Amino acid sequence: MERWQKILIAVLSAAVVALGAFSFGYSVAGGRDRIFVGDGSGGGDLSLIEDVYGKIKSESVDPPSDEELVRGAVKGMAKTVKSSGDDFALFYSPKAYRSFQEVTTGQFSGIGVWLKDREGRLEIVSVIPSTPAQRAGLQSGDVIDAIDGESVGSLNSDEAVNRIKGKEGSDVNLGIQRDGEAISFDITRETIELPNLLANRTPEGLGYVRLFGFSRGAGDQLRDEVTKLTDEGAEGIILDLRDNGGGLFSEGVSVASVFIEEGEIVSYKERSDPEVSYDAEGDAFEDVPLVVLVNEGTASASEIVTGALQDTNRAVVVGKTTYGKGSVQEVLPLSDASALKLTIGAYFTPDGTQINGTGIEPDVEVDADPGTQKERAKEILQGIIISGTGSQG
């Protein structure tokens, strides 16, 4: 598979509980075989697995099935990769992999909250409007302690997603910590269609676009909305990427290209391969003043867009420092319909900045509630429009 084909379907992001695993950065590749036993020619490394398998089958009083042994071996290898430094390494069972593949469709069966790992805790960063989670009373900042009565322990966001998602009409119980109080929620799962964006004109006549994710079509949808807003008289655009955990790598390039006419959007480096640059796609709204809203929940594909707009002086970035997710995970389908996720590379902003672990600092820091951040973005955009000095003001 060519690199662009892999990157085209790379998913970059924070996890979306019950909506899918926008879990900080994936590409999905095919045509790879799983190997779990060797022929003894590799210095005994793979032959050891074959040796253990044989002894279990011949000596154990009640040996597991071949499928269980193979899955156990694969899970163990994934855990070893994770403990050796790849925080995102994960084995997907066939069921979990099917759930993951729903990510790019924008439709999921679940409860409707954004979830991410924060300092060893599973925290809800936002609740999607008109979803079971909102109706049940879940709130941003809630920490998930238990799922269906079982402690989340060391579950990462991907694993929590797999437990919380489920068939439409089925129930899930969440144990929540909120301001030191333990609360239990019983929530019935529903099919949820997650929109890529919401757009409107503010009372001041500015265009406002809240981008929720980067599933297929996000770039085209944004272009359509910006066209409508400018046709209706909007003189500038606020692009709200707060709590946007990412999505498809290719859509990140397309979204940035709505506002950047030419030049590099992002570069990508995989292992020892040469660095590859991805450029703007053209036909951009390059003269429309632009402000980008970000916070600590802005991750991966959102950071690609933010970094490109900031490095090219195309927009003023307002809010709080972003999450800092600059690596890409590839999801490798396996021969039994399961899959393995591994970190395969890192991406860089046009100025060569690696985001991973540091994030993007805003041009104007607003460490306040979301409403105040948005009002400050309006003020800055109005100032740019009045001064007529372009998007940087």
**Identity of residue 64:** P
**Identity of residue 9:** I
- Whether 325 is catalytic is yes
Does residue 63 lie within any of the structural domains?
Answer: yes
Last residue of a domain, one of 193, 227, 242: 193
Domain match, 66 and 81 both: yes
**What local confidence, expressed as pLDDT, does residue 205 receive?**
95
Domain match, 376 and 299 both: yes
Does residue 186 lie within any of the structural domains?
Answer: yes
Least confident of 189-193, 317-321, 326-330, 369-373: 326-330
Q: b/e per residue, 332-362, with b = 16+ CB within 10 A? A: bbbeeebbbbbbbbbbbbbeeeebbeebbeb
Asked whether the beta carbons of 285 and 331 are under 8 A apart, the reply is no
pLDDT at 46 over 50: yes
- 178 vs 156: CA distance, rounded Å: 20
Domain match, 167 and 220 both: no
Please state the rounded mean pLDDT for residues 144-153: 92
* Beta strands 181-188; 197-201: pairing state: unpaired
Does residue 220 lie within any of the structural domains?
Answer: yes
Catalytic residue among 6, 165, 320, 325: 325
Domain match, 208 and 182 both: no
Does residue 204 lie within any of the structural domains?
Answer: yes
**Identity of residue 346:** A
CATH number, domain at 136? 2.30.42.10
Please state the rounded mean pLDDT for residues 308-321: 97
Q: Which residues pair with 339 in a beta bridge?
A: 92, 333
- 280 vs 263: CA distance, rounded Å: 6
Domain match, 154 and 170 both: yes
Rg (CA), the chain: 22
- Whether 300 is catalytic is yes
Does residue 339 lie within any of the structural domains?
Answer: no
pLDDT band at residue 29 under the 50/70/90 scheme? very low
Catalytic residue among 23, 311, 320, 374: 311
Please state the rounded mean pLDDT for residues 117-141: 84
Domain match, 268 and 120 both: no
Domain total in the chain: 3
Cβ neighbours, 10 Å, residue 364: 14
**What local confidence, expressed as pLDDT, does residue 290 receive?**
98
Domain of residue 178: give its range: 107-193
Does residue 336 lie within any of the structural domains?
Answer: no
Please state the rounded mean pLDDT for residues 347-352: 94
Asked whether the beta carbons of 20 and 99 are under 8 A apart, the reply is yes
Q: b/e per residue, 247-285, with b = 16+ CB within 10 A? A: bbbbbbbbbbbbbbeeebbbbbbbeeeeeeebebbeebb
Domain match, 263 and 383 both: yes
**What local confidence, expressed as pLDDT, does residue 389 receive?**
59
State pLDDT tens for residues 248-292. 889 999 999 999 999 999 998 887 788 999 999 999 999 999 999
- Whether 65 is catalytic is no
pLDDT band at residue 390 under the 50/70/90 scheme? low
Domain match, 189 and 203 both: no
Domain match, 117 and 154 both: yes
Quote the pTM value. 0.75
Catalytic residue among 23, 99, 257, 300: 300
Domain match, 238 and 351 both: yes
**What local confidence, expressed as pLDDT, does residue 104 receive?**
58
Does residue 331 lie within any of the structural domains?
Answer: no
pLDDT at 20 over 50: no
- 136 vs 172: CA distance, rounded Å: 12
CATH number, domain at 359? 3.90.226.10
**What local confidence, expressed as pLDDT, does residue 257 receive?**
98
Does residue 334 lie within any of the structural domains?
Answer: no
pLDDT at 146 over 70: yes
- Average pLDDT of the residues of the chain: 84
